[in-house]
Structure 1
Amino acid sequence: EMIDAIFQWMTSLGCIDTSKVFAGGFSYGGTIVQDLACVRSWQFRGLAPDVAPGDYTDRGLLHLGDCKNATPVTYISFCGTGDISHCYLNSIAKAETVAKQTHCSRSELRRKSATVNCTVWSGCHAGHIVESCMVYRMDHEIPGRVAPDGTSFLHPGSDLDYTKYVFEKFSLQVASDQLRFYGHPTRAEEDWKQEVWPPNKMYDSMYLRTALATQGLQTLPNQRVSITSTIEYEG
């Protein structure tokens, strides 16, 4: 019911392509996302649980292997070898369950960095991606991030950034021309930038351009913003 309510809320906000919905979750939110791969995979294009607790055997559906009606789905999970919720106990096994329902052919261990190893399945149905990544000595955290409450230990910069990595992988599940700013800069935009020196300045966010314009900055007809600097000095 919660998932149905979320979909209803999203579609009420505007034009939403419900065939390209992705979800991620941290901790128990990760457990929910794991369960979605089992019971609601047909509603999602991609799922990315992070440190879903692995020591609560009465929680979650994927570990039961009872996903007979599950459909192929992209699935990228993260876990830390030092996780206090013991996600490492079954993180790879749960990803393997998804790999089977996604008709992947085989798996191999790939070293992504000095501190991250990922089990990656290949030959998955319709180009889907299934990966399970393990971050060395990471506790109950989001890889590449620190907790806003200041409780995180510092980690090596070699840890994959969960948000960046997942969004990069999810982008492979949509048409390239559906990505915002895809194909930019165009040749005309490059020529415009270089027509004066110093080069013209622009901002990719239309909201930022509008905000700058309200502060007295010059907005060009094509909605780019030109900033003129004034240098004051005492003689």
Structure 2
Amino acid sequence: MTYRIKVPPKTLPMDEAHLAGNMERLLETLRLYRGPLLVGIAIVIVATGIVGGVLWYDAQTAQKAQDLEHEATLHYFTRPADDPKKSEMNLKEAIALYRKVVEEYPRTQTAPVALFQLGNALVQANEVDAAIEAYKRFILMYGSNTSLLGLVQQRLGYAYLLKGDRDQAAKAYSSVLEIPGSLNRDHALFELARLEESLSRPEGALAHYQDLMKNYPNSPLANEAAVRVKALEVKKSPDPAAAAPAQASSTASPAAPKKP
């Protein structure tokens, strides 16, 4: 029995007349919808131009903000210790430049850093109330910036302490402990413990110091916390030097009567 191999039929090429007809239909369609097509192309070009312009403008403003913040930081950290007048001038210039960044470029990535540094510079200039307002403004505007938020709350606590407001300082330090991923919780615990000591509340101070030692053993403050714990425990225990004579006098036998 023999088998025949089936060969698939060859596809005939499209004839030129059919191809020409398709081209004519395409051109006719383009003629019919020429207006909407031109409008669509124009919209795409305009949108591309707008997006490009916005990106260019953002890049320019970001660069300007960085330049201003860099200049302000140079003024802030290069204050000569042996020339008080020059140091004061540098500090004032730094404050002015930080303010310019915050006011003119608030949406840039540099603005949160500039606002934080503005608060620090205002503290150095003894403008504590203005510094507190700067820190509060940071919390309001850039509270999602958790990498800086903990430091801002800590500095806010320092500023309140300079004003003598211990309650607000304690609230600021406690807020650091509630920030997810905060890197300065050990500092906040240490400051809370010191506050408790200053208020003559050794139990609260011990709790914070021990929390610091337990949860942050590698902190540079852990050793100092251990020293403070020992000191507080000694204060809590009775004085051994005073207790020894009292115990000796209570247990001593009565003296023998003198002979006549």
| Interval of TM-score (by shorter of Structure 1 and Structure 2) | under 0.3
Larger radius of gyration: 2
**Higher RCO, Cα 8 Å, sep 6+:** 1
TM norm structure 2 = 0.22
TM norm structure 1 = 0.24
Query: Which structure: greater helix fraction?
Result: 2
